[in-house]
Amino acid sequence: MPSNRTPRRAVATATAAVALALTASAFGAAPASAASVATWEKVARCESSGIWDTVSSNGLYYGGLQINLHNWVYYGGTAYASRPDLATEQQQILIAEKILADQGAGAWSCAPGTGLATDHQNPYPAAPPPPPAPAKPAVGNKGSIIASDGNQVTFTRDAGSGHVQITYLPVGGGWATADLSAMTGGAAAGGGAPAAFLQGNGTLGVITADAANGHLRVTYQPSGGGWQTTDLTSSFGAPVSDGDVSTQIDGSGTLSVFTRNSSNGHPNLTYLPTSGGWQNFDLTNNVGTPVSGGGAPAAFLQGNGTLGVVTADAANGHLRLTYKPSGSGWQTSDLTSSFGAPVSDGQVGAIVDGSGTLSIFSRNSSNGHPNLTYLPTSGGWQNFDLTNSVGTPVSGGGAPAPFLQSNGTLGVVTADAANGHLRITYKPSGSGWQTSDLTSSFGAATSDGNVSSVIAGDGTLSIYSRNAGNGHLQLTYLPAGGAWGTTDMAYQAGTPSLG
């Protein structure tokens, strides 16, 4: 791998890509649109010594063509594999073709002398076209919440406009949906599921990333007030984001927003103390947390005041915990190396149960098994494979959505990889783990794995998912002491199809 290789550009948004194309056209040199396999292999020999399953020493570039994770995700590579180095040579070249057509040969510092800018030959004329970039989740395991007035709230993104939507059930009222982007003048949201929060003063809000530029955005409603929006990147220096975000309110009332910096992959904390004034804290530079791969960080707060976040390292998929005990400094721990946690694609959820046990639900990226990695208050991390031990099938895309019912039942919602059936795996207090197919047994719509869950004030377990068939927001619910029901929120509340 050449030592003088300069970092290549990472296109954060479609707007940035269009800007690059317009600039090239203005100077009479449109980006190259194709290159032969032989030319791509020349590029690979320079970039990675022709090693198609390598990772750069800094953990930022992957595969033979040293594609960074942001470009891999943005141009649809995750339809093949979670990282470029895990994909075949052909798959890496097919995604590189999309980058070449969009950004030009200058996206590779090794391009000069290889013919990349002038080749124009289709590398695989008989191959199917590379997959489109997959839609990022429009609803996720952090998108639903109960407001201070008891209203049940879910935040989503409109597939057509990118506008942030709020779908809510007032106590004693009927379902309704409102367009928060239109109400506040906020920008359309890009990829990643909105992340809800509720502050101690009653302020309800949601964190997103703007589609145009990746700016981190907070849209919020103070108790008794109207909805407002603020660009946290422009106003307070928050890093740009790919939209994979998580929130947590700690014991002091500080609002913590965990993101992945889309320019360098660093996990980041943007936080608002109760005393006011947003601040930013780079977990890679300050704590040593490695660059993280795909998926939203999973924030948690333990009963002893420890604030933390779970990610997956981009270089090797190791499950990682970064945490701050009350009254102490930030620390980080590799749960895979130190405690045998399975590798992960970054789709994770975290919850603290009534006994104080910290439970981390993840999907094993080597076999797709849903897994539980947990830390009892008595200490000692342990792992529990839900497929091998309970029979939970291999799960598809999207992060597991954990829940804790008032009767002490701990559970997680996933979607089966084989058929998209919505699935609940749960452990009643004092009993063993069980699993149930909500699609086969109760008529829940199939799902692409983008799910969230919330417990209402009356004890109802509500599961929100994206209907894999039509993109509608689907509510599947279990009243306390009742039977499962399901309803399509496009018809029930007018919620737009999810992007």
pLDDT the model gives residue 124: 86
In the chain, how many H helices and how many E strands?
11, 30
- Lowest average pLDDT, out of 90-94, 99-103, 240-244, 471-475, goes to 99-103
The tokens for 340 are: 């045998």
Rounded CA separation 199/248 (Å): 9
**Angle, alpha carbons 282-107-5 (nearest 5°):** 70
Q: Which domains does the chain have, with CATH numbers?
A: 14-107 (1.10.530.10), 144-492 (2.120.10.70)
Question: Per residue in 317-346, pLDDT tens?
Answer: 999 999 999 999 999 999 999 999 999 989
Mean pLDDT of 272-278: 93
Determine contact, residues 499/479, Cβ cutoff 8 Å: no
CA atoms within 13 A on the CB side of 253: 9
Q: Is the pLDDT of residue 110 over 90?
A: yes
Q: Is the pLDDT of residue 5 over 50?
A: no
Its pTM stands at: 0.77
pLDDT the model gives residue 33: 65
- Compute the mean pLDDT over every residue in the chain, rounded to the nearest whole number: 88
Nearest alpha-carbon partner for 33 in 123, 163, 146: 123
Question: Per residue in 407-458, pLDDT tens?
Answer: 999 999 999 999 999 999 999 999 999 999 999 999 999 998 889 999 998 9
pLDDT the model gives residue 135: 58
Nearest alpha-carbon partner for 13 in 207, 259, 263: 263
Q: Is the pLDDT of residue 348 over 90?
A: yes
H or E stretch covering 181: helix 180-184
pLDDT the model gives residue 396: 85
Determine contact, residues 377/348, Cβ cutoff 8 Å: no
pLDDT the model gives residue 22: 24
Percent of the chain residues topping a pLDDT of 90: 67
Mean pLDDT of 282-290: 97
Q: Is the pLDDT of residue 17 over 60?
A: no
Instruction: Outline where DSSP puts E strands in 116-160.
Output: 144-146, 152-157
Mean pLDDT of 61-86: 81
Tell me 210's DSSP state.
Answer: B
Rounded CA separation 295/401 (Å): 13
CA terminus-to-terminus distance, the chain? 39
Question: Per residue in 390-411, pLDDT tens?
Answer: 999 999 888 999 999 999 999 9
pLDDT the model gives residue 24: 28
pLDDT confidence of 6, banded at 50, 70, 90? very low
